[in-house]
Every structure is written in C-alpha cells, then in structure tokens.
Amino acid sequence: MHLNEFVAIGVFVIVFFLIVERRRLNNIPIWTSMLIGAAVMIGLQVISLEDAFKAINLDVIIFLFGMFSIVSALDKSGVLKFVAVKMLSKAGNDLNSILLVFVIGFGIISAFLVNDTIALLGIPLIVHISRQISIRPTVLFIALAFGISIGSVMTPIGNPQNLLIAIKSNIPLPFLTFLRWLFIPTIVNLFLTYFILKVYFKEELSKVPAKISVIILLFTVAGFVISEVLQFLFHVVYFSISVIAVLGATALYAFSRERRELMYNVNYSVLVFFAAMFVFTSALWTSGLIPEIMMHIPNPVANNNNNDNVIRNNAIISVVSVTLSQILSNVPFIVLYNNVMINNGFNADDVSQWMMLAAASTIAGNLTIFGAASNIIIIEAAESRGVKAFSFFEFLKIGSMVTASNLIIYYLFTTFLFGRT
C-alpha cells in the first residue's frame, strides 16, 4: 500500500469516529465531521484543491437547493403539514392505520420531495401523536425511516444517490425509466414492510393554503415528465432534472413575497455535507484505497446480451451495495461505486444493473442507522426534542428482516421480470 492509502484510512477512521461518537464530542454535526475529513484530505495533499473543486457534483447541489427551496415554501405555507394531518385524520386513533400512513403515505411523498426533507416533516408529527395516544414513538420513527427510504427508490429525485446514478449512467429518460422499473416493486415493498412492522409491533399496536408553492411543485414534477416525453417523441432539447428543479425554485423566488424567509429556511447544512462528501470520497478514490479494496471484491461485468451475466451482476451489486453502504453510507458509496460500474463497461444500455444499484443502495439504509443520512437526521432531530428515536440494535433487528425481504423483491423484478433480454 502507498502512503496516501494509509493517510486515507486514517482520515476515514477519524471521520467515522466523529460521526459515531458525536454525542460524546459536544454533539458535532455530521456535516461538520465530513467537512473536517474533506479539509484534512486537501491539507495532506491526498487530493489537490483543484481536483477537490472538480469533485463537487454541481448537478446534485443545484438539484438539492432547488428541491429544498420548494419544500421550504411548502413547509412554511403549511401545505406539507396540512397534507400529513389530513392523512392522519383519516386514520383516526387506529394505530394500524397510523402505521400505514407513516410507511406508505410518507413513502410515496418521499419519491417526489427527497426523503431527507420528509424525515424532518414527520418527526414533529410523531412526537405529537405519541403524546396524544398510547404508542411508543420508536414504532413510528422506525416506520418513517423505512417508509421514506423505500418510497424514494422509485424516482431519480427521491434521494441523492438515485440522482447520481441517473446522471452518471446516462440512462435516457431517467424519470420515466425509474418509474417503469421500480414503481411496482416499490409499492409491493411498502405494503410488505407495513405488514412486517404490523406483525413485529403487534403487541404495541393492539394497545392503543399556499397556492404558489403547490402550483410550482406541480409544475416542477410535471416538468420532469414532460421534458422526457418531448425528448422521446420529438427529440427536442432535453432539460436535466437538476435544471428543472432550479427553474422551479427560481420561479418560486420570483413570485413569492417571502423569498428571504424561504431562502433562510433552506437546509444549507445538507448542501455543505454533500459538497464535503464529494471531496472526501473523491480523495478516498484518488488515494488508491478504494480501488485496492475493490480488487478483492467480485466485480460486475457488463454484457448486455447475456442473461446469466445479469443474474450474476445484480447479485453482486446487491450484496456489495448493502454491505459497503453500512461503512460509507449509501450516498458516498454511490459516488465511488459509479466509477466501478463505468470502469467495468456499464453504460446507458445496462438499465437492469443500474436500477438494481439504485434499489439496493437505497434500501441498504434500512439495515443499520449508518446506512442512510435520513436515519441520522431522524435520530438527531428526535433527540433535539427530547425523544429517543431508536437504538442501533433495535433498528438492526427489524431492519434486517425488512432489508432482506425488500432486496429479494427488487432483485426478482429487476433481474427476471424486466432484466431478461
């Protein structure tokens, strides 16, 4: 191993330690830990300052800023809370129905509004509900975590790792492609997860106006679809997902009278986290550490016309995604593994493998609390309100069942129902 690889290992251990032990270290925010890691990598010349700037994926940053701006408007206007309360009012005091809302209702919403933002929306509702009726908040926190992770699988705007895959793979018409391949298995997995949670928590469950933001949200989501339909039918100029998202945000700031408040409420710490994460993970790659590790792990091999290869590739992608996401978290993992896929010959024609990567890396967040940033967001936000979300081992216990069953469903759909040539 070269010196840079040892340095990369050391910095990675430091960042991992800062994240795991953040409560004992004066509650250091996760974005700060990642920023420290990126700064140290630059300072020790593992990655140059020029390459660090190049590593930041502006498509993702622009997309997140655009969507966070729209969600900020929806939140400030009360629309999101209104929708959530309406869903919960339909459930009444039926705990099974409330569980259904948090798994399936919030799961579907997360497919169009980024799962991290929906995590923040659900937390105060859970705190309120748990105080009003006899239910342990952990049950709903876990339901929310699972629901928003699974639901976000079905579109390229549901989570950052899907967007990265859509960009790097060059898959044509990504919004429609994701829905075509992943909508049905995602809906199946949402209901399957609901029933698993219903059985697992059986004893506990048996106890007891803002028109501008809405219009712009609808136009933005419609823009994702219309742009791809026009490109498919008439080969007109195609607008990327990130461009459409920022156009929607621009329209929002132009028409809103509360543009300063909306911009203030954007979650900039998440943007800093992702920018730092791009630099940090790029440094891990350029140091030679990740390529060295990948040499000892089976790699998928592109071959569009070989059905047996699709079976093998999707199995490898599934196992590697779920495993390494627990170490790197799923977004940093995708940043690195996209390079592995491209270096092994995968391109826009290998849709089955890219969809398997999107699904496996996302539901990897349901295995342990380290698998997805949304889990950490839920834990920190809940604790800031004086409520314990869930422990590592309780999440792992139920998460292992949910992840295994979901992974099987996605593997069968992407490999045998859609993946055969």
Read off the tokens for 311.
């079976």
User: Tell me, what DSSP letter sits at residue 414?
Assistant: I
Residue 138 identity: T
Q: Is the confidence at residue 13, as pLDDT, over 60?
A: yes
User: What is the predicted pLDDT for the residue at 421?
Assistant: 46
Render 379-410 in DSSP notation, one character per residue: HHHHHHTT-----HHHHHHHHHHHHHHHHHHH
User: Per-residue confidence at 359, pLDDT binned at 50, 70, 90?
Assistant: very high
Asked which of 52-66, 74-88, 127-141, 349-363 is least confident by mean pLDDT, the reply is 74-88
Helix ranges (DSSP H) in 92-159: 95-100, 106-113, 115-132, 137-151
Compute the distance between CA of residue 182 and CA of residue 71 in angstroms, rounded to an integer.
24
The mean pLDDT of 341-367, rounded to a whole number, is 93
Model confidence at 89: pLDDT above 90:
no
Rounded to whole angstroms, the Cα distance separating 54 from 124 reads 38
Residue 187 has pLDDT above 90, yes or no: yes
Q: How many CB atoms lie within 10 A of CB 157?
A: 29
Would you list the domain boundaries of the chain? 79-208+288-421
269 CB contacts (<8 Å, ≥6 apart)? 29, 31
Does 313 score more than 90 pLDDT? yes
Identify which of 329, 336, 386 has the alpha carbon closest to the alpha carbon of residue 361: 329
8-22, 94-108, 235-249, 389-403: least confident range: 235-249
The rounded distance, in Å, linking the Cα atoms of 262 and 68 is 9
Q: Answer for the pair 262, 69: CB distance below 8 angstroms, yes or no.
A: yes
What separation in angstroms does the CA of 281 have from each of 19, 41, 124, 174, 375?
16, 10, 33, 25, 20
Q: What is the pLDDT of residue 209?
A: 45
Task: Report the 10 Å Cβ neighbour count for 15.
Answer: 22
d(CA 107, CA 118) in angstroms, rounded, equals 9
Which of 142-146, 261-265, 298-302 has the highest mean predicted lDDT (pLDDT)? 142-146
pLDDT at 165 over 70: yes
Query: Measuring CA to CA, which residue among 364, 252, 343 is closest to residue 291?
Result: 343
- Tens of pLDDT, residues 407-419: 999 999 999 876 5
Give the single-character DSSP code of 170: -
245: its two tokens:
């998202």
Residue 260 has pLDDT above 70, yes or no: yes
Residue 131 confidence (pLDDT) above 90: no
- Are 88 and 98 spatial neighbours (Cβ–Cβ below 8 Å)? yes
Task: Render pLDDT for 45-85 as a digit per residue (tens, 0 to 9).
Answer: 999 999 999 888 887 788 778 877 877 777 677 766 666 66
Q: Is 230 exposed, middle or buried (0-12, 13-18, 19+ CB in 10 A)?
A: middle
Q: Which of the pair, 258 or 319, is modelled with greater confidence?
A: 319
